[in-house]
Each structure stands twice: as C-alpha cells, then as structure tokens.
Amino acid sequence: MQARQPFRFCPWLLRWTQALGFGRVAVLGVILLSGLIISIVVFGLLKERERQLVEAQFCHLAGNRLQAVEDTLAMRLAALDWISALYASSQDVERLEFTTFTQSALARYPDLKLVGWAPRVTGAERAAQEEIIRREGLADYQIRQQTAQGILSPAEDRPTYFPIVYLNPLKNHAFLLGFDLASQPEAFNAIRRALKSKQRTLAITALPDHQGGSSSRLVLFKFAHTAPPVADTSAAPKNEGVVFAAVDLPLMVKNAVKDFTPKGIDIYLFEETAAGGTRLILSRPSSQRTDPLPPLQSLPKNPSGIYFMASFRVADHTWWAYCTPCSMYVPEQRTRAPWVALTVGAAATVLITLYLFLLLGWNRQTKALVQKRTAELTKEQQLLRRLLDLQERDRKLTAFEIHDGVAQLLTGALMKLQTLDARKEPLPPTAAELTHEAMQLMEEGNREVRRLIGGLRPPMLDELGIVPALEYLIEEQQRRHPVAIEFRHQLSRPRLAPPLEAALFRIGQESVNNAVRHSRSPRIRVELLSTNGAVRLRVQDWGDGFDPQSIRGERFGLRSIQERARLLGGAAAIQSHPGQGTTITAELPLEGPFGEEE
C-alpha cells in the first residue's frame, strides 16, 4: 500500500537527505540559508544595476546641460560676429548706428550686459583722439584706468590704448566711456590675440562698476575694422580695434539650464591655464541644494562617485565642465525594485522552507501511518490465510470423518442387507420388499455421503491436483443439472502449490455453482491457463447476467472469490451486464509466498 504524495519531489528529497545523512532540520536550514543568500545576491546585483543606470542617466542629463551652455555661448559669440561684420561693411560707424544695431542682441540675451567698440589708439594719437570724442558731445571724455582704490583716473602713458568709445547700454555704464581695456592684463592679452589671429578671444577680467568697485565679467573680443574708401580699395583700413561683449556668466548658465529636469545637478566650469592647470570660473549649485556647495579651485584629477566631466572650446580657450549630483538627486532617482526583490525573495524563501518543513513532517507521518497500516494488513492477511488453511483442514478432516464413520456404517449396513437378501431361504414377500427398499436407501445415502465428501474436500484434489478436481466438480454438476459445461485447461506444470490449488478449486466451485443456479445459461465454459508466471481461471456463461454495482454487498460468494484472489497476491474481476451473461476471471501468481510449490 502506497500513500498518495502531493508532490513527487518530496520522496526524492527525503531519500536524498537520508542518503547524505542529513536531518530534516539541517536540510531545511541549508535551503533557508541558500534562499536568503540568493536574495541578497540579487539585491546587490539590482542595486549595482540601479547605480549604473542612475550614473548613466546623470551623465546623459549633465551632457544635455553642458550642450545647452555651449550652444548659448556660441550664440553670444555669433552676436559678436554680427557687430564685427557691421564695421567690416561700413567706412564709418556712428554712435547712433552702433546703438541701434546692438539693441536687438541686448534685448534677446538678458545675460549680455554690455557691448562696445574700443579702437586702437597709439600714445602719439591719444590727445587727438580724446579731442575728437569731446567734440562729439562727451565733454568729460578722456582715456582712463582704474586705480587700486577703485577710482577711475587718467591712464598712464603706454604705447597703445584700447579705450571704450561706443557702449550699449549707456544707462548705469556711461562712466566706462574712455576706460582703457589695455589697463587690464587679462583683457589686453585677449585683445592682442584677437588682433593677431583675427578670431574671437575671451578673458575673465574685472570691469569697473558704478559703485566705485569692480566686478568680474566674461568678456568676449573680436577684431574689427572699418572698410577702406571705395576709391582706393588698396588703402589701409580707416580705423581698427576690437568689438567686445561682457557676459554675466552665472546668469547665462542659469538661463541655459533652467528648463531642464530633474533638478539636483551642480555645475562647475573650469578654464585651462597657460601653465597646463585649470582654474575655477563658475560654480553653480542646484536649486535643490540646501547646504553650501563644496569649494573647488581646480578640476579634480581622480574624482569618485557619480560625476560628469567633459571639455569644450569657447573662442580660443578650452573649458571643462564638471557636474556632480546634490545629496537629494540620487535618492530621488532610486527605485524600490532592489528592496522589493529582497523582501519578496526572503518571504518566498521563508514560505517555501515552512512549506517543506510541514510537507516533510507530513511525509514522515504518512510514512509511519502507511507502515503501520501495512503491518496491520499483513497481519490480517496472515490471519485470513490461516483461517482459510484451518477451514480447508476442517473440511478435509470432516470429509475423512464422514468417510471413515458414516460412510463405513452405511456400507456395512448395506452389506448386511445384501447378505440377508442372498439367503437360500426366501423371505416373506413383505420382508423381501422392505429389504430391497432399505438397500436402495442405503445406496442412495452412500452416494449422498460421497457427494458431501467431494464438496467438502475432494480427495483427488490432494491426490491428483487441480485439473482432475475441477473435472470431478464439472461431472457432478452435469450429473445433477441439465447444463453443458466445457472445460479447457493448459498448465505449464502438472501440480501447483496446495494453497494455490485449494484457492483455484474454491473459486471455480463458487463460480460454477453461481452459473448453474442463477444464470439459466444453456452452456458454461471453464478455462484454466498458465500465462506469464501466473495461472488464470475463467468461468463464463451466456445467461441472464446482472449489474455488479447493484449487488456489491449482497453476494457473499462473489466477495469470497475476490478476497481469496487478493490474499494470494492476485486479483479477481467480475464482468456482467443484464442479458449479456457473466464472466469471472481470477489471476493468481505461480510464485510467491502463497504460490510457491510446497
């Protein structure tokens, strides 16, 4: 008898643990620990994957911001090209014309604070140039420079000056007219590069403000000159110098990145120096930052964590952008997926371990119950077998007692009567008639005794075997009932084990009796065959038939057929339908605890 298992892997798991010598708790501990380790590993992989995604997304977003800053600077440099083109296309650019032309650029770019024109004036031309400008209406005009105290005073004598002559807007900046850009070393170096290369240059330089101090500005320069007279195209330009634009770099960067999301990206801008290093020119904290921005004086050489670093060209300089996330950026970009995976994995591991714990316990209990029930059934089978053996012995003993007792007495009495009948002196007619009747009754009684002996235990079953016993049974049935019984037999051995022969005889006896008494069939077929290590007994009739389901608990004889077959390790099948006859088939093993020949 086998217990029904809910999952096939549980017996396999039990056998595996038993083979390795592990206990149930140890195996479940290994499963629990393995599941938790796998969950932690998956959690770590997801965290690392998330970190990589956050870093890649940050670099992408920072790169977009840098591109916006670079495009914005390119538009400011393009405005400088427009002003330079104005001078190149005109023989003389007047102040009003300059103001009108540059007004649109100032209106378009709020971070473009100043645009102006600074001609080159030699030391010998200084006085004449100042007089010309005064005649144009600027009575206080003179070439000046800013002292260390922040005061604008007449410029020192030098070979070349680049005074601001045109300026837009003039409001709050008129005091810059006449300011010598060459008095600032950074501006002067940028102007010389512009004059030499005829390309755009830049300088981070200090310009005086209206409060008597100075403010650092990004100043863009480009060489510019007026066109020569039309009549003499080979003549030198009438006037040359530089056009410049002062840009509020923090405001420009703010406007360039203000529409980007998400926030939380700090921006540093560095400029490469002539010595090969870098210097900080702008640090812009994110709008989400609540703490001060970490100070940096130069570009980090070995940064750590999440960052973005890239270089780009602005005029004749190389700038570096260095972007880092603020403290709130990374937490906002993270998801709950790693923690969900860890929680689900740990919970699933615990649930599976608990389930296996209960399941293995259930299997152990089931196995114990199966073993207990199997032992009980074995004892029951042994008891039933013993009861059947005792029953057969009782039948045999009873048959012997009848044969040696009643049969002998009947035979002796018959012999006495035959002797009396054979006397020479004739009996009176009445006595002779009674004697003959008594002799007939004795003979009938003797035949009935032999029939009872054959029903209890036919002697030929023990002496000759199952085939002659079944032949005797069939002959007795045919003698007493008008039915044709066909017997076919083919056994692989002449004798079988006594328990097997007894069981086959009782099954055949019950089946033939049922067919004769209840089927009303004109013919019956009995087959006894050896097949594949077993012996098969089949009794078939073509009578009334019945429904086996409707009389399952009513026919003790049919149940005894099935029980006898089961006790000998075989099986018996009863097939019948109303009006279609009945077939009883019993198949018993030739070898085994009951089938082995004794």
DSSP 47-60: HHHHHHHHHHHHHH
| CA 178/CA 164 separation, integer angstroms | 5
| CA 105/CA 112 separation, integer angstroms | 8
Task: Please choose, from the candidates 443, 382, 372, the residue with its C-alpha nearest in 3D space to the C-alpha of residue 411.
Answer: 443
Q: Do 270 and 249 touch, CB atoms closer than 8 A?
A: no
| CA 268/CA 266 separation, integer angstroms | 7
Alpha-helical (H) ranges within 259-336 are 329-333
Which residues are CB-neighbours of 48 under 8 A, at least 6 positions away?
none
Task: Kindly list the distances between the CA atom of residue 432 and the CA atoms of 187, 421, 442, in Å, as whole numbers in the listed order.
Answer: 172, 7, 15
Fill in the DSSP letter of residue 403. I
Which residues lie across from 265 on neighbouring strands? 325
Fill in the DSSP letter of residue 183. G
pLDDT number for residue 3: 42
Which residues are CB-neighbours of 370 under 8 A, at least 6 positions away?
1, 2, 3
**Maximum separation of any 2 CA atoms in the chain, in Å:** 202
Task: Please choose, from the candidates 526, 496, 495, 497, the residue with its C-alpha nearest in 3D space to the C-alpha of residue 509.
Answer: 526
Which residues are CB-neighbours of 292 under 8 A, at least 6 positions away?
285
pLDDT digit string (tens) for the chain, length 598 residues = 444 444 444 555 555 555 554 566 777 788 888 888 998 999 999 989 999 999 999 999 999 999 999 999 999 999 999 999 999 888 888 999 999 999 999 999 999 999 999 999 999 999 999 999 999 888 899 999 998 888 899 999 999 999 999 999 999 899 999 999 999 999 999 999 999 999 999 999 988 987 767 778 889 899 988 766 544 444 444 579 999 999 999 999 999 999 998 889 999 999 999 888 999 999 999 988 888 898 999 999 999 989 999 999 999 999 999 999 998 888 888 888 889 988 998 999 898 888 877 877 787 788 888 888 888 777 776 676 676 666 667 666 676 666 666 767 777 776 777 776 676 567 677 777 777 777 777 777 777 776 676 666 677 777 788 898 888 888 888 888 888 999 999 988 888 888 888 888 889 888 998 888 888 889 999 999 988 889 999 999 998 888 887 766 556 778 888 888 888 888 999 999 898 899 999 999 987 655 444 4
Angle at 82 between CA 79 and CA 87, to 5 degrees: 135
pLDDT number for residue 22: 55
Which residues are CB-neighbours of 27 under 8 A, at least 6 positions away?
13, 17
Which residues lie across from 242 on neighbouring strands? 118, 223
